[in-house]
Amino acid sequence: MNFTHPFLDEDGDDKLHEECGIFGIINGERASSATALGLHALQHRGQEAAGISSWDGTEFFTRRALGHVAENFATEESLAELPGQMAAGHVRYSTTGGAGLRNVQPLYADLASGGFAVAHNGNISNAAALRKDLVNRGAIFQSTSDTEVIIHLVATSRFPTMLEKLVDALRMVEGAYALIVMTPRGMAACRDPLGIRPLVMGKLGDAVVFASETVALDVVGATFERQVEPGELIEVDFDGSVRSHRPFGNPRPRPCIFEHVYFSRPDSIFNQRSVYESRKNIGMELAKESPCEADLVVPVPDSGVPAAIGYAQQSGIPFELGIIRSHYVGRTFIQPSDGARHAGVKRKHNANRAIVEGKRIVLIDDSIVRGTTSMKIVQIMRDAGAAEVHFRVASPPTGHGCYYGVDTPERSKLLAGRMDLAAMREFIGAESLAFVSIDGLYRAVGLKGRDPASPQYCDACFTGEYPTSLTDLAARQLGDAQLTLPVSEDA
């Protein structure tokens, strides 16, 4: 079994990872084929496992597997196991619940009201508390995923209709979710009241399509209709009727700003904005805020490319591909030793010596998490003969954990959680280091700046200001504190 550090991808990077991506289609020919294609476009959102469930008018079918979509849903034989005109799928990284086939979604259950399949993107931040209560009342869980909590809440709801049961269940959860639900009566898609996790709706002929990103609509040939609004629940029946409900009121939305920075594919539209344009704008803000005397602007591929283009355009410093990335480093190539994992950076990123030798380089990356990859890439530039290496980061310092569906180390392992700017610069070994400011990031996505009284995005990983309660975290912290309380001498 290959070992992968929980905060490193299979190539040795220490990027933040979105937990998952979801896709659903109803009233479509070869629904499972469209779902597999849509999931392939969302593969960047989860590369550990994939699953698809379908409904053929009589029964549900589910196929789930570890690995990539193309490894498990690329043949006619595999898709023939998933008949019907309604299907939903899921790609995942493991955060809440951990790895293993039993946690791969969609999750399916036979309820008293009929079959129920759900694909969930996000994280329920009171899942442990809800799970404990459900187990005490006799519930038997088949997985360790927080998504199964939603199924049990629906199953135990006393409301008469499936829609009311689902709303009743969601009123009890806190945190972030985008859901696609299938029942024998049709499909429902909903988004948490703050809209932290993304979800969009499209049309493909007579079919209605839901996906985490617009790029999945593009790939299957669907037209983008609109985003599912924060707190909205959309029902679609087999007769084609579409009904919108707003059961959670209208709180001020707080979508995840890191979708603009890294999570979404650059060819997606998020929150009515081109992700590619947002990333270019971030680079331009960086150049304004943190100029540098240099010969070349070099992106850390691939995620640093749009911001580096923006930095180069704003600064007038030439853009060059000073690092070439290999796209063929597979997880089976990784061995379980530290040396092999660390060598993954060199296998994935190689200096273009003819370009960088003797030059003053501005390296542009989307973020710094633990700092280990940044340190290695700076060293790669030095080994290739770069005269100076200046590092610019297209996000503010990531100093706080995410509890809304992003795979994040505890704060003590985040470089910005334990070091100031000078110490971080010394750690990665660059001549200079600068991050875009939080206001610069907000300007890059079309706003005047961050409103500290009422932020327009969820930016807790940068600011530590969480927009919802964090029940399970508070309970863990209380437990840790109790473990360290002094014992009374009278005890």
230: left (phi over 0), alpha (psi -120 to 50) or beta: beta
Q: Is residue 331 part of a domain?
A: yes
Q: Do residue 57 and residue 107 come from a single domain? A: yes
| CA separation, residue 303 to residues 22, 59, 204, 319, 367 (Å) | 22, 42, 30, 15, 9
265 is a domain residue:
no
Residue at 404 is within a domain: yes
Is 28 in contact with 362 (CB distance < 8 Å)? no
Amino acid at the residue 151: I
Do 40 and 67 touch, CB atoms closer than 8 A?
no
The tokens describing 348, both together, are 């994935």
What residues make up the domain containing 91?
Answer: 17-255
Task: With a cut of 60, say whether residue 487 has pLDDT above it.
Answer: no
Percent of the chain with pLDDT over 90: 82
Burial profile 55-89: b = 16 or more Cβ within 10 angstroms, e = fewer: beeeebbbbbbeebbeebbeeeebbeebbbbbbbb
Q: What is the pLDDT of residue 333?
A: 34
- More confident: 2 or 50: 50
Instruction: Reduce the DSSP state of residue 122 to 3 states and report it.
Output: strand
Residues 136 and 245 placed together within one structural domain of the fold: yes
* Model confidence, pTM: 0.91
Cα-only R_g, the chain: 23
CA pair distance 226, 204, nearest whole angstrom = 13
Distances (CA, A) of 230 to 65, 137, 190, 278: 31, 32, 8, 21
Confidence of residue 409 (pLDDT cuts 50, 70, 90): low
* Contact by Cβ (8 Å): 22, 210: yes
Q: pLDDT for 426-455, tens place per residue?
A: 999 999 999 999 999 999 999 999 999 999
Cβ atoms of residues 209 and 149 within 8 Å:
no
Contacts of residue 72, defined as CB under 8 A and 6 or more positions apart, other chains included, come to 50, 63, 65, 78
pLDDT in tens, 333-373: 333 344 444 455 667 889 999 999 999 999 999 999 999 99
What are the DSSP E strand ranges found in 371-447?
388-393, 406-407, 432-435
Write out pLDDT tens, residues 164-181. Answer: 999 999 999 999 999 999
Distance CA 183, CA 392 (A): 48
Residues 6+ apart with CB under 8 A from 159: 165, 167, 168
353 shares a domain with 399 = yes
Write the pLDDT tens digit of every residue in 146-160.
999 999 999 999 999
Beta bridge partners of 104: none
214 and 302 together in one domain: no
pLDDT digits (tens, 9 = 90+) for 453-485: 999 999 999 999 999 999 999 998 887 654 343
- Regarding whether 290 and 232 lie in a shared domain, the answer is no
**Which residues lie closer than 8 Å to 125 by C-beta, 6 or more apart?**
174, 175, 176, 403, 404, 468, 469, 470, 471, 472, 473
The answer to whether residues 221 and 327 belong to one domain is no
Instruction: Say yes or no: 206 and 149 in one domain.
Output: yes
- Residue type present at position 28: G
pLDDT-derived band of residue 311, with 50, 70 and 90 as boundaries?
very high
Annotated catalytic sites, by residue? 20
| Residue 487 lies inside a defined structural domain of this protein | no
User: pLDDT at position 97, please?
Assistant: 54
Please report, in angstroms and rounded to a whole number, the separation of the first and last CA atoms in the chain. Answer: 48
Q: Which of 202, 225, 255 is the last residue of a domain?
A: 255
What does 202-263 look like in DSSP terms, one character per residue? EEETTEEEEESSHHHHHHHTPEEEEEPPTT-EEEEETTS-EEEE-TT--PPP--BTHIIIII
pLDDT tens column, 211-240: 999 999 999 999 999 999 999 999 999 999
Is 264 a domain residue? Answer: no
* Structure confidence at residue 60 as a pLDDT band (50, 70, 90): very high
Any alpha helices (H) in 45-146, and if so which ranges? 69-72, 76-80, 127-136
Q: Are residues 85 and 174 in the same domain?
A: yes
CB neighbours (10 Å) of residue 256?
28
**Structure-block tokens of residue 415:** 């470089």
Which residues have C-beta within 8 Å of that of residue 276, sequence separation ≥ 6?
Answer: 266, 267, 306
476: in domain: no
Same domain, 89 and 194: yes
Contact between 55 and 82 (Cβ < 8 Å): no
**How many other β-carbons are positioned within 10 Å of the β-carbon of residue 255?**
21
CATH of the domain at 440: 3.40.50.2020
Answer whether residue 9 shows pLDDT above 90. no
Cα(361)–Cα(353) distance, integer angstroms: 12
How many structural domains does the chain have? 2
| Cβ count near 338 (within 10 Å) | 10
Residues 99 and 186 in one domain: yes
Residue in 117, 88, 85 with CA at minimum distance from that of residue 205: 85
CB atoms closer than 10 angstroms to residue 241: 10
Per the domain annotation, does 267 fall within a domain? no
**Residue linked to tokens 């971080």:** 424
Secondary structure element (H or E) that encloses residue 62, with its range = strand 60-66
Specify if 55 maps to a domain. yes
Determine the length of the chain: 491
CATH number of the structural domain spanning residue 243: 3.60.20.10
| Neighbouring-strand partners of residue 270 | 273
Question: Are 249 and 340 in the same domain?
Answer: no
Sort strands 296-299 and 360-365 into parallel, antiparallel or unpaired. parallel
Sign for the CA dihedral angle at 66, 69, 74, 78 comes to positive
Angle (nearest 5°) at CA 48 between 45 and 53: 80
User: Does residue 417 sit in the same domain as residue 283?
Assistant: yes
